[in-house]
Amino acid sequence: MIKMLFITIAEYFDKIENVSSRLEMTDYLAELFEKTNKEEIKKIIYLLQGQVAPTFEGKEIGFGEKLIAEGISKATGFTRKEIEESFSKKGDLGEVVEEMLIKKSQGSLFTKELTLKKVFENFEKMSLREGIGSQETKIKLLAELFNSSTQKEAKYIARIPLGNIRLGVGDPTIMDSIAIMIAKQEKNWLKLKEEEKRKIKQKLREKIEKAYNVYSDLGEISEIIKEKGINGLKKVEIKTGTPIRPTAAERLPSAKEIIKKLGKCAVEAKYDGFRILISKDDNEIKIFSRQSENITKMFPEIIEAVKQLKSKKLFIEGEALAFNEETNEYYPFQITIQRKRKYDVEKKAKEYPLQLFLFDIVYLEGKNLMEKPFKERRKILESIIKENEIIKLSEMKIINSAKELEKFFEEKISQGLEGIMAKDLDAPYIAGARKFSWIKLKRSYKGNLDDTLDLVIIGYYTGKGKRTQFGLGALLVAAYNKEKDLFESIAKIGTGMTEEILKELEERLSKIKTIKNVRIISELKPDYWVEPKIVIEVRADEITKSPLHSCAKEETGLALRFPRMIKFRNDKKPEQATTTNEVKQMYSKQKKVSVELFGQKE
């Protein structure tokens, strides 16, 4: 097979950048995937994710805008100042290098043909460089790529290391496109009816997602499919060192409703810290975040404690949080999150030691435990964990009635915890999904609008008055429509940000401005659209019907009343934001509560 040229990819990326619907986007991507061999598809998927390896390997290309600008300068001969000026106008280094190469190419006659392999190799080399002297090498490797690329290729080469290729391609789109690629190999594909085609694609998509849930590496999954077909995925199994996709909790507004749903169930304290997944393979311990990042280095004390466990191979999950030994209380989340850092980890570990509360086990000594009911997994967990200063089991109780649940809840609240988690005793571990096997009940649920929402910023308005100095007046945010893989507007947020947050917002948002992305659905038009990347936590008084917003349009649109930004949720991907379905559920729960409390009817 002829080696894939990078220009083929850049051309497809260009088509994808200019599509008007998500369907077109997946079709183009599927078409590109069809042209690849197993190594190429893998590489393209990583590059689409702004990486050279799956997230959990932690191989960052490690480029900031400054280094890229240096690379552009080295390759084109334009000065840093000229590049910066152009960047401040365009807001995208991809377009900057494109323009500079157009100007420069008047002088140069030809460029060498660039292969995908070469581009990938150079980025891989960059990811291996760290420390003193590494920057020079990185700039050289990047400039080398620019020197042998056309303008179109250079545009994407500049964007890849920033992890922002600006195509709006998320994991669900990649999975859809792989499914289409396989479906098209079906006999008589072109003659099939649309409904039949849809069913075939859906089945394939489910199989891909099932594999992805236990093995968070879409690159490798695509490679297996190319080599062995969809049946090759049957052998994809949970394995130490490779994170699974975490399960998530549903919410219900009262103890009564939880018991109605689950009957006899387990209740646990809900700790407000970091959710971590720990893999142990003898003495090799790895810790992953819920976004599958490798965050091992941030938890030295937990690593040491896990090493002491007798079991050789396991995957356990829990919540780590900072504990104040003097007052015997947990610190708030803002303190725990300080551990999320690259430097001075040891110092922070001394200042705010963490405790780990384990609440699940999904793998032990070569055996996948995910299909086992929760009550059995918990027994296994209890049998292998010997509690100590650092490692504990989450506090758990089996209850039968709403009264007991209510009592446990009040007890936890009075201890300063944020609520409880109820768990279905018979449910398997449902990776990658939010189902009623876990139900959370929090302090704030009692009464009108219960929980906060995690929403994705899709645009912003420039401010007036005091805020103008930050160039930011209000945010336009969206919920995630999981079925359609789209971001639907739900609120405009003008208040609740401290100056510090405003500054950070402006800095981050100005880097991800975009011409409207096809996955954004909004009738309101902000001054600037941004790539749906940043997730924030939002509190509001109520969910109301509103034709202005696109969330749950079939119900005339749902919106938030008096929304306030609380904090960044950097631990969440946009696809992990509150979904349109959850908003609908919250809306109907809220209606129900208000009918119960005030006897109102709509």
Residues annotated as catalytic are 270
Q: Which stretch binds ligand ATP (CB under 6 A): 219-227, 267-275, 305-313, 520-528?
A: 267-275
CA distance 79 to 93: 14
Identify which of residues 92 and 319 has a Cβ nearer to ligand ATP in the complex.
319
Decide if 388 contacts 402 (C-beta within 8 A): no
Q: Which stretch binds ligand ATP (CB under 6 A): 164-172, 262-270, 520-528, 594-602?
A: 262-270
How many CB atoms sit inside 10 A of residue 81's CB? Answer: 9
Q: Rounded to whole angstroms, what are the CA distances from 468 to 171, 462, 493, 597?
A: 36, 7, 15, 43
To the nearest whole angstrom, how small is the minimum distance from the Cβ of residue 248 to ligand ATP? 3
Using CB under 6 A, which residues numbered 392 to 451 contact ligand ATP? 394, 421, 440
Q: Cite the DSSP H helix spans in 367-511.
A: 374-384, 402-414, 499-510
Query: Environment class of residue 187 by beta-carbon count within 10 Å: exposed (0-12), middle (13-18) or buried (19+)?
Result: exposed
To the nearest whole angstrom, how small is the minimum distance from the Cβ of residue 569 to ligand ATP? 7
To the nearest whole angstrom, how small is the minimum distance from the Cβ of residue 495 to ligand ATP? 21
Q: Which of 270, 286, 348, 377 binds ligand ATP (CB under 6 A)?
A: 270
Decide if 30 contacts 177 (C-beta within 8 A): yes
Identify which of residues 141 and 393 has a Cβ nearer to ligand ATP in the complex.
393
Q: Which of 212, 359, 408, 445 binds ligand ATP (CB under 6 A)?
A: 359
CA distance 178 to 184: 10
To the nearest whole angstrom, how small is the minimum distance from the Cβ of residue 177 to ligand ATP? 27
Q: How many residues bind ligand ATP (CB under 6 A)?
A: 13
User: Taking CB under 6 A as the rule, which mask of x and - marks residues 316-355 in contact with ligand ATP?
Assistant: ---x------------------------------------
Q: What is the dihedral of CA 253, 259, 262, 264, to 10 degrees?
A: 150
CA distance 139 to 69: 9
Q: Cite the DSSP H helix spans in 263-370.
A: 300-307, 333-336, 345-351
CA distance 65 to 132: 19
To the nearest whole angstrom, how small is the minimum distance from the Cβ of residue 246 to ligand ATP? 6
Identify which of residues 319 and 406 has a Cβ nearer to ligand ATP in the complex.
319
CA distance 93 to 68: 8
- Collapsed DSSP state (helix, strand, coil) of residue 525: coil
CA distance 404 to 408: 6
Helix (H) or strand (E) holding 505: helix 499-510
Using CB under 6 A, which residues numbered 292 to 321 contact ligand ATP? 319
Buried b (16+ CB within 10 A) or exposed e, 30-47: bebbeebeeebbbbbbbb
User: Taking CB under 6 A as the rule, which mask of x and - marks residues 215-254 in contact with ligand ATP?
Assistant: ---------------------------------xx-----
Using CB under 6 A, which residues numbered 441 to 460 contact ligand ATP? 454
Tokens of 88: 């401040």
Which amino acid, one-letter code, is at 332? P
Give the CB-nearest residue to ligand ATP: 275
Q: Which of 187, 158, 153 is nearest to 14 (CA)?
A: 153
To the nearest whole angstrom, how small is the minimum distance from the Cβ of residue 420 to ligand ATP? 8
Helix (H) or strand (E) holding 530: strand 528-530
To the nearest whole angstrom, how small is the minimum distance from the Cβ of residue 546 to ligand ATP? 24
Residue 391 touches ligand ATP, criterion: CB under 6 A: no
To the nearest whole angstrom, how small is the minimum distance from the Cβ of residue 597 to ligand ATP? 23
Identify which of residues 118 and 440 has a Cβ nearer to ligand ATP in the complex.
440
Q: Which stretch binds ligand ATP (CB under 6 A): 90-98, 263-271, 558-566, 580-588?
A: 263-271
Residue 374 touches ligand ATP, criterion: CB under 6 A: no
Q: Which of 38, 74, 275, 539 binds ligand ATP (CB under 6 A)?
A: 275
Q: Cite the DSSP H helix spans in 184-270.
A: 194-214, 218-228, 255-262
Residue 271 touches ligand ATP, criterion: CB under 6 A: yes
Q: Which of 268, 293, 406, 582 binds ligand ATP (CB under 6 A)?
A: 268
Distance of CA 291 to the CA centre of its chain: 5
- Collapsed DSSP state (helix, strand, coil) of residue 418: coil
Q: Which stretch binds ligand ATP (CB under 6 A): 21-29, 32-40, 213-221, 266-274?
A: 266-274
To the nearest whole angstrom, how small is the minimum distance from the Cβ of residue 65 to ligand ATP? 30
Identify which of residues 125 and 340 has a Cβ nearer to ligand ATP in the complex.
340
To the nearest whole angstrom, how small is the minimum distance from the Cβ of residue 71 to ligand ATP? 38
CA distance 555 to 546: 9
Q: Which stretch binds ligand ATP (CB under 6 A): 63-71, 197-205, 264-272, 475-483?
A: 264-272
Angle at alpha carbon of residue 263, lines to 245 and 318, rounded to 5°: 30
- Collapsed DSSP state (helix, strand, coil) of residue 586: helix
Identify which of residues 59 and 251 has a Cβ nearer to ligand ATP in the complex.
251
Identify which of residues 461 and 487 has a Cβ nearer to ligand ATP in the complex.
487
Cα radius of gyration rounded to whole Å, the chain: 25
Binding residues (CB under 6 A) for ligand ATP: these are 248-249, 268-271, 275, 319, 359, 394, 421, 440, 454
